[in-house]
Amino acid sequence: MVQETTNHDKPLVEEQTTRKKRKEKKRKLEDSSGQDEKDLRRASRRAKRQEKQDLLSKVPKVDGDGIQYTKIQIKRMLKRVKRGLHPVPTEHEELERLQNEAKMRKDDEAEFAGLTYQKEDEKGVTQGDDEEEETGEVIIEAIEESFDASQASEEESMKDGNDQVEEDKAPFVKKAKRSKPVPPDYTCQACNNKFKPAHWIYDCSMKVTVRGRNQKKKKLRGINEPDSRKIFVSGLPFDVKPADVTSLFKACGKVVNCKLIKFGDTGRCNGQAYVSFDTDEAASKAMKLSGTMIENTSDDAPKKKGGKSSEPSKRKQLKLKVSKAANRRATSMKGR
């Protein structure tokens, strides 16, 4: 079957035919006029290649000790052969070449550093040149005097500015004491609570600042025996608050401090806390409450999208566990 060209394909066919015609014209022109130029170029390339091969045949590839010459050495020998010299230079020629290279390198370094000055011979200096040198010296002296005057004025202005800055500086103000209340069970490690009222170690007059001691103190933190008035409580609800824990142990005595232990990611209480009392008797009474059952106010069941729990909480009551607070060696899991 013969495919018929539509009206849409006609412009494409015409463009292809025009391209073919252009290519044919270009080819004919190259064949007629450019053929001679191409032949000349090819002939010159062949001549250069043949000349290089002839020169390379005259250049030795290995020295007297059997060590092969490098490409740079072969290029140097090719240049020598072109000039009609022996390819291998003598010791005197090699030394002269190295000296010339060192001199050129030194001149380049001096030129880049700005140390090259054109020196005129004393015989070639005329009277007009002498007058020009004198006028140049006078101009240089005037420039130096103006520069010294401007520099002196700048120094005076800088001094005045520094004096004004010193006057504007505010007097040294001592840092205020910590506003955070000091708990009664806190002991200042600098004075051992010799000075009253109770204060933090940062505000103590006997403290000694030693750089790098905090890192060592972190390793030793918690190895001493805690206060006998401090207890550890577990089995608390997850939504418990410090006020709830205080009300729970209110019958035992006055609660001085309550610290909840929380999860690191959510910040929610994990059911444990440290409680400090004002007396040892109150702490001993609180420890007798170990094993008592309390209501679970938190909802542990999974929740649906609507926000309502799928099932009621299974643990309706929780069992308290109260014990004396232990140090880090006793509570550490290492070595168990």
pLDDT at 137: 58
The structure tokens 């005076």 sit at 156
Residue 248 near residue 260, CB atoms below 8 Å: no
pLDDT of residue 236: 92
> Tens-of-pLDDT digits for all 336 residues of the chain?
444 555 555 566 777 788 888 888 777 776 666 667 777 888 888 888 888 888 888 888 888 777 888 888 888 888 888 888 888 888 888 888 888 989 888 888 877 776 555 544 444 444 445 555 555 555 556 556 655 666 666 666 565 555 554 444 445 455 667 788 899 889 998 898 888 888 888 888 888 877 765 555 555 666 677 888 999 999 999 989 999 999 999 899 999 999 999 998 888 899 999 999 999 999 999 999 998 888 887 765 445 555 555 454 555 788 899 999 888 777 765 444
Supply the pLDDT for residue 230.
92
Angstrom distance (rounded) from CA 251 to CA 243? 14
| pLDDT the model gives residue 74 | 86
pLDDT of 276 reads: 93
CA distance 101 to 163: 59
pLDDT, residue 90, reads 86
Please give the single-letter amino acid code of residue 8: H
Give the per-residue pLDDT at 235. Answer: 92
Instruction: Report how far residue 251's alpha carbon sits from residue 8's, in angstroms, rounded to the nearest whole number.
Output: 100
Determine contact, residues 258/245, Cβ cutoff 8 Å: yes
Q: Per the structure block, which two tokens stand in for 168?
A: 């504007």
Token readout for 314 is 């299974």
Q: Is the dihedral of CA 94, 99, 105, 108 positive or negative?
A: negative
